[in-house]
Structure 1
C-alpha cells in the first residue's frame, strides 16, 4: 500500500533553562538567570478598573510549605520568534513558571465554585505536565481585585490580561536571546500520511463562567492577548493541528 507522506508545517521549540530568578530594576535573561522587575505594575494598574493591587513574590525550588491565595492559573513563559502558533520558531523558558493567585479587597478568595487557598504544597500538583517541578522557581503574582469583584467575569478577564502584560515583558526579552544558546532544541512536524488511518484527539474543555474559561489561538504561546474565549465562541467544536496544540494554542484559565 502506498504511504506517501507530506509535511504541512514545521515547528521548532528551543528551550532556555533558568537556574536562578531574582528581583531587580529591569528584566534580564543572562547566564541561566532571569531577573524580573515589579516596575511595570504601576503602569498596568492604570489600565484596569477592577484591579486594586498586584504583588509579586519569587518562590524558590522546594519552598512550597507556604500559604497561597486561590490559584487562578499556572503559566509557562514562551514566545514566538518566527511564524505563528503551530509553526516557525518558539523560545521557551524551563525551570520557571508564573503562578497567578487572587483575592478581593475584602479578603475573599477569587473563586466561583470552590477556592484553592491553603498550603501551596497541598494545593498545587507538582511534577506534572503543565505544572512546575519541585525544583522549579515560581513567580507568584497575587492580584487583589476591588471588593465584590471576585466572581465578576469582567474582573477575572482583567486579571488575566494584567498578568499577561507582565509575562509579555519577559517574552520580549526571550525573543532576543542568542538563538544558538539554547539548552534543548526540538522539531515537530504536522504531516499528512496518505492511505493511513486518520486520528483525532477529542479534548473537552470548560466554558461556563468566570473561572471556567479557555482561550483559543492567542498571539503568544499560552498567552492572553488575541485569544478568543470558548464561551464567546458559543462552546462550539474547534479544530486545532497537533503543532498548534503543542505550541500553546489553548490557554486554560481554570
Structure 2
C-alpha cells in the first residue's frame, strides 16, 4: 500500500486529492496538513511513502519544507504541486530534493500515476514545465558554468561520466543505450550509481551539476526527453 500525506493550505484541494487517491486499491491518504511546518512534523511521525506538497503555504512554504523533509526523511518522496507555472519554483523544488513537480490542474489519472511513478524511484516533472527547466536553472544560478569544483565528478567512472554527458544533452535512456551499444538496464544502473556517488536524489539534479561543473555547456541541452525514462 502506498501511503500519502497531503500538505496544502486549501482544504478543498486536499479533499479533491483525497477523493482521487483513496479510490485506488494500492493508495491510502494517511494524513492532511495545512502548512509546511506541520508537513515536516507529520512526515517525521508517519513516514509516508509520498508527500504531495503545495508551494505557497503559511508559516513555512513548500520549498523550505521539502528541503527539511528530504534531509530528515530521505526515504520519503516529495512531489511539489502548485497552480503557478513559474520555473523558479520547479528549480527550487528539485534542488531542495523533491522527486517531482506537478501543476494542480493535473488530471486525476495523471495524479495517480505520478504517485506510483515516484514510489518506483523515478523523477517526475509536469510536461508543461520541462522544456525550459534546465536552461532556466543555468540562467538564474549565481555562478557561471565551471564554478563548482569539477573534482566532484572524479568519483564517477569514465562510463558514468559519458552517460551523464549524454543525459545532460537531453538523451533518453534508450538513446544512450543505442549510442553506447548497451542495454537499457545497464544504462539505468549507471544512472542509479551516479546518483548514489554524487549524493543526489534525481537525474535532474545530476544534469544541473553537470552544467555547474562545466562538464557540459548551456545551450546544448534538449530537455524534452530528459525525464522520459529514468
Above 0.5 in TM-score? no
* TM-score, scaled relative to structure 2: 0.27
* TM-score, scaled relative to structure 1: 0.25
Larger CA Rg, structure 1 vs 2: 1
Larger RCO, structures 1/2 (Cα 8 Å, 6+ apart): 1
Bigger strand share: 1
Bigger helix share: 2
